[in-house]
Chains A and B, each alone.
Chain A
Amino acid sequence: MPQQTVPDKVLELRRVSKDFATQRAVADVSLEIPRGAFFSLLGPSGCGKTTILRMVAGFETPTAGEVWLNGQRIDALPPYQRNVNTVFQSYALFPHLTVRGNVEFGLRHKKRTDDINRVLEVLKQVRLEGKASRKPSELSGGERQRVALARAIVLEPDVLLLDEPLSALDPQLRKQVRVELRDLQRRVGVTFLFVTHDQEEALSMSDQIAVMNGGALEQVGTPREIYAQPRSRFVADFLGAMNWIGGIGVRPEAVSICQSPTKTGRKAVVTGVTYLGSFCHIAMTLAEGGEAIAAQVPPGSAYQTGQTVCVTWNREDEVRCEAS
């Protein structure tokens, strides 16, 4: 997405907290979601990302803080009065209604029956025009997911909330759907608030990512910023493998190995070689300091356990985080 100088925010969370009986699920989170963005909330399970989504949808009320949608405060409104829609993790399609009935449901209940002719158009957008009279039980997982999308998109929400919508799909399909979902978001132009625990998903699809941990926001930024300049060890580790050497982080793909010693290189002993098809994962121990270090090298490289090698990396690939 082309970055505007002052992005127009469609959704804003102001110091939102949510306490459940035994724990604080969300702790003092402030967020601004730019209009038209694909915005991901990324974090491990239990980090509060789904609770944030549910507070925006209206299924949970914040214990403290405010939720603003299009300049209107919405945190006290019931779900049916908010112009946001949700794609549920389980899709929550109505089993007694057809595909068309599911997609029409919102239009009927929001008294927008004039728009019913748009149902077919939206079904076409998600390639389901031939399945309008099927019941959800007659559809594949991918098709159900697209019905859930169509049902929400047809209402033209200010923000579309997606709660791990790919987690129920099999891994092969998931990668394909990522691209489709991203394309759909661009075409329709609706703001997506996408919850996921899969860093690859978040990196590949998002304009912006907010990384969460233990109910709090760790970092907000573009995928590149988050991956290359993580502000905390948590973010660095959650976004991908990271070597920590004397408080400095280096991603395995930035580490190069050579057989003979170099001036800048450090000696290391190979402790394990794992062939992974497109690359080889080499586990090593630094001779000096004894810290573990891993590298990704081309699959053809021949290293053996016990071999002494030399590792180097560029200074600009080093990551320095605040102590945490």
Chain B
Amino acid sequence: MLMTVTMLAPLAIIVVYSLLTRGAYGGVELPWTIENFMRLWDPVYGIIFLRSFWIAAVATALCLVLGFPLAMFIAGSGPRKNLYLSLVILPFWTSFLIRTYAWMFLLRDTGILNSALQALHIIREPLPLLYNDGAVILGLVYGFLPFMVLPLYATLERLEPSLLEAAADLGARPWRALVSVTLPLCAPGIRAGAILVFVPCLGTYLTSDLLGGSKTVLIGNLVQNQFTASRDWPFGAALSLALMAIAMVLLFTARNRGEEIL
């Protein structure tokens, strides 16, 4: 009961705010209006939504490409797998903010990476590693890789080893066994991992703010702006509801395909 209230109360406040008028100095005022939702159709916001989708999709795809071999390695590493699993979770022991700042120290013009490359005379001018989409995607992949690895590991772990032996026995080379047996049987884990990475990537604002600079505005940053600089709380509420709606549609599409892993 308490859970339900604590879950629903903030959501109810967002819904109410999204239907009110913007106050002169922040906050909300009467009258009721659906104006905030009509403004979402402005192409400017459409582009930001699309950009956010694109970046979240690329980050999710990279997490899958990197996470699958990693999960396979862990699942196949016998008694050491608990050690490797804790290494995957280890970054969670420090704040995401601090870890993102660490990336700034690594990537900026006077950062460790550029200084090292310059000291080695591999490059003369510092590489533009920070404040672009690449840096944002890197930060997202770094931050959310564990959310991909863990569900993939869970499905790979349950995969009966004799199935891969059967595939080899029936003439499938390792690569083809991977494609025709392992991947299809890991579909639930892939789907779960993809949702767990894609949804938070879609709403990210910290990573894009710190690593993307002012050039990279994503939905998350747009929402944040409405509540801070722009002082347009009702529109911010409408934006976040739109984001939530999209995330939920994705979640339910994946669920309705008969998966129980989430």
Contact = CB atoms under 8 A, between A and B. Distances in A.
Interface in B155-178: 160, 162-163, 165-173, 176
A92 B169 CA distance: 11
B184 A85 contact: no
A92 B168 contact: no
A155 B166 CA distance: 13
Contacts of A105: 167, 170, 172, 180
Given A59-B165, A86-B166, A109-B176, A92 B160 contact: yes
Interface in A98-140: 105-106, 109-110
B181 interface: yes
A96 interface: yes
A20 B185 CA distance: 30
- What 6 pairs across the A-B complex have the smallest Cβ distances? A106-B170, A110-B171, A92-B166, A109-B171, A92-B162, A79-B168
12 contacts: A80-B173, A85-B170, A86-B165, A86-B166, A88-B162, A88-B166, A90-B160, A90-B162, A92-B163, A92-B166, A105-B180, A155-B170
Contacts of A109: 167, 170-173, 176, 180
Contacts, number: 62
Interface residues of A, number: 23
Contact of A92 (B165, B172, B173): B165
Most chain A beta carbons < 10 A, residue from B169, B173, B181: B169
A184 B53 CA distance: 58
- Interface class of chain B by DSSP: helix
Interface of B: 160, 162-163, 165-173, 176, 180-181, 184-185
Nearest to A151: B170
A110 B170 CA distance: 8
A65 to B, nearest CB: 21
Contact of B171 (A90, A95, A96, A155): A155
Contacts of A106: 170-171
Contacts of A90: 160, 162
B231 to A, nearest CB: 54
B171 A94 contact: no
Nearest to B173: A80
B28 to A, nearest CB: 52
B169 A79 contact: yes
A189 interface: no
Contact of A96 (B165, B176, B185): B185
Contacts of B184: 96
Contact of A86 (B160, B163, B169, B185): B169
A78 B172 CA distance: 10
A75 to B, nearest CB: 15
